[in-house]
Chain A
Amino acid sequence: MKRSLVMLAVAFAAVAAIPRAHAQDAETEKAIEKYRAMLREDPWSNPGYLDADRGEALWTTRAGPKNASFEQCDLGKGPGKVDGAFAELPRYFADADRVMDLETRLLWCRETLQGLSAADYVKRPHPAGGQPVKEIGAIATYVASKSSGQKFAARLDRPQEQDAVALGETLFYRRSGPFDFACATCHAQSGLRIRLQGLPYLAEKKEASKVIGEWPAYRVSNTHVMTMQHRLLDCYWQMRMPELQMGSDASVALIAFLTKQAEDGEIAVPGLKR
């Protein structure tokens, strides 16, 4: 089983090692179609499961100056409780006195439990194209996959959480950068596309609840798992903004808003994306 997964991943790496170029969009679409057909036959053939497995191993591996694992990490349901934890994130954590999404919480656990610097990690938190998702991303894939089949059930009703959702909504409509873009420029209408890439209508609950629960997702055009924090960085890149810092309040606020938009949506991690 594990073996065939690896082979699949390798086979698809060849198809999907395609540059961003728009002219290749059609080919990427074809590659995705192939993937989807395979996933219908065998849902476990999504290469993202390799990273979920790697994440599960990392969760129990001792590391850092404190020689500790993630097993005492409290994702909101108590230390070490992973099942269903992602479905209730983002949330306010009293110990850190801030709202955190899954990746930000993992970053915090890594620092407090293992003694590894979050500031260092966020200097290069995301993989280059073709490189596997990094440590926190792999663990996030594992943790989120343990909520698959459940519905988003983040409360988002504590004052700090309401604040985060409101800030996220404001940022979603905030136009800036040399192109004057906001998230809403590309994600506030249904059925539109950039070149041939479809743009999900995230300002509306119906479409948001279909796609937000699919992250982290295996991204065919980059042949790796991409996390939600990485996705947002990439959208800001298109907006000609600087590099979004992983775990920043703005990033958490946007994820809180998107999760609110997707409430009652089903979680299906790892997803599969273009």
Chain B
Amino acid sequence: MRITIAILALSFAAMPAPAQKKVDPARADTAIKAAFPTAPADWASRLTGDETMQQCSASHNNPAKDVAAAIQKREQGTIVYPPDNNFMGDWQKGERLAQSGYGLRFTDYPPRQANGGNCYACHQLTKNEVSYGTLGPSLSEYGKLRDFKPEAVKAAYEKLYNSHMAFPCSTMPRFGANKILTIEQIKDAVALLMSPESPVNTGK
């Protein structure tokens, strides 16, 4: 039940198909390029979005079945697994990165610290943190609800690395594939979700 809710929420943005008159994608690209003249050269890819994002934008995150399947396959191919297949790091570090929204904003250069995951912006996690957002589902007791199963640990890693493998056109950032977080950081976030000692699961 909880899981269905999470699935619904992650893929939620199933919105009515666009009703406006068609805008030539090249026109939108030109307008965006002109709107951000101070973008450094290596930010060019930020302006357009890749093929998956173009498909999600065009369908208002509600891709047709075949497109959804293509997205899942493509995004699954981006996932890099830890060499030793150990998916869990340190939940305390995970909690710190869940709190931090630092990174990749134009005011964050040159980098002064590691990027955060900003999980609390959208999700409830530990009981102690009451300042959490509701754009994503609550992740309270995430591991406990999944009996701390090894498959669930791996699945959590995959969702953090690239959520579109499980939920095409998910609203969640592709933390691994887009190089927002490192593999080590993703493992720390997995531990926050899945470790039996993590306050997400102990309720402390």
**A residues whose Cβ falls under 8 Å from a Cβ of B:** 22-23, 25-26, 162, 165-167, 169-171, 173-182, 184-186, 188-189, 191-197, 199, 203, 237-238, 240-245, 248-251, 253
- Known contacts A175-B57, A189-B12; decide if A245 and B106 are in contact (CB<8 Å): no
Return A223 CB to nearest CB of chain B, in Å: 18
Which of these binds chain A: B21-29, B87-95, B139-147, B188-196? B21-29
B107's partner among A25, A165, A191, A237 (CB-CB below 8 A) is A237
Please name 13 further chain A to chain B contacts, defined as beta carbons within 8 Å, in addition to the given A170-B28, A248-B31, sorted by A numbering. Answer: A173-B18, A176-B48, A185-B135, A194-B122, A197-B133, A242-B40, A242-B46, A242-B47, A245-B35, A249-B31, A249-B34, A250-B32, A251-B35
B173's partner among A162, A178, A186, A250 (CB-CB below 8 A) is A178
Per-residue contact bits, chain B 103-133, to A (CB 8 Å; 1 contact, 0 not): 0111100000000000011100000000111
Residue B60 at the A interface, CB < 8 A?
A: yes
B133's partner among A167, A176, A194 (CB-CB below 8 A) is A194
A192's partner among B49, B120, B133 (CB-CB below 8 A) is B133
Q: For residue B49, which residues in chain A have a CB less than 8 angstroms away from its CB?
A: 174-177, 180
Bin chain B's interface residue count: 35 or more
Residue B85 at the A interface, CB < 8 A?
A: no
B105's partner among A194, A197, A240 (CB-CB below 8 A) is A240
A255→B53 CA distance, assembly (Å): 23
A167's partner among B23, B39, B43, B57 (CB-CB below 8 A) is B23
A170→B174 CA distance, assembly (Å): 22
B23's partner among A170, A195, A242 (CB-CB below 8 A) is A170
A25→B121 CA distance, assembly (Å): 12
B131's partner among A22, A169, A178 (CB-CB below 8 A) is A22
User: Can you list 28 A-B pairs with a CB-CB distance of less than 8 A?
Assistant: A25-B131, A26-B131, A170-B57, A171-B32, A173-B60, A174-B28, A174-B49, A176-B47, A176-B48, A176-B53, A177-B46, A178-B46, A178-B104, A179-B104, A179-B178, A186-B135, A189-B12, A191-B134, A192-B133, A192-B135, A194-B121, A238-B105, A242-B43, A245-B35, A245-B36, A248-B31, A251-B35, A253-B31
B106 touches A243 (CB 8 A): yes
Residue B83 at the A interface, CB < 8 A?
A: no
Q: For residue A191, which residues in chain B have a CB less than 8 angstroms away from its CB?
A: 134
Return A244 CB to nearest CB of chain B, in Å: 6
Return A159 CB to nearest CB of chain B, in Å: 11
- Known contacts A193-B133, A242-B106; decide if A162 and B21 are in contact (CB<8 Å): yes
A177→B23 CA distance, assembly (Å): 20
A178 touches B38 (CB 8 A): no
A102→B22 CA distance, assembly (Å): 26
Return B74 CB to nearest CB of chain A, in Å: 14
A188→B28 CA distance, assembly (Å): 20
Q: For residue A25, which residues in chain B have a CB less than 8 angstroms away from its CB?
A: 131
Q: For residue A166, which residues in chain B have a CB less than 8 angstroms away from its CB?
A: 20-23
A254→B37 CA distance, assembly (Å): 17
A184 touches B60 (CB 8 A): yes
A167→B30 CA distance, assembly (Å): 11
B53 touches A180 (CB 8 A): yes
B56 touches A178 (CB 8 A): no
A169's partner among B12, B13, B20, B40 (CB-CB below 8 A) is B20
Please name the 8 residue pairs, one residue from A and one from B, whose CB atoms are nearest each other, closest first: A250-B35, A248-B35, A176-B49, A242-B39, A242-B36, A179-B173, A170-B23, A240-B104
B135 touches A174 (CB 8 A): no
Return B134 CB to nearest CB of chain A, in Å: 5
Residue B76 at the A interface, CB < 8 A?
A: no
Closest to B170 in A: A180
Residue B67 at the A interface, CB < 8 A?
A: no
B35 touches A249 (CB 8 A): yes
A193's partner among B53, B56, B134 (CB-CB below 8 A) is B134
A180 touches B174 (CB 8 A): yes
Return A18 CB to nearest CB of chain B, in Å: 14
A176 touches B46 (CB 8 A): yes
B178 touches A244 (CB 8 A): no
Closest to A253 in B: B31
Of residues 41 through 63 on chain B, the ones whose CB sits less than 8 Å from some CB of chain A are 43, 46-49, 53, 56-57, 60-61
- Known contacts A173-B18, A175-B56; decide if A196 and B131 are in contact (CB<8 Å): yes
A22→B120 CA distance, assembly (Å): 10
Return A141 CB to nearest CB of chain B, in Å: 23
Residue B179 at the A interface, CB < 8 A?
A: yes
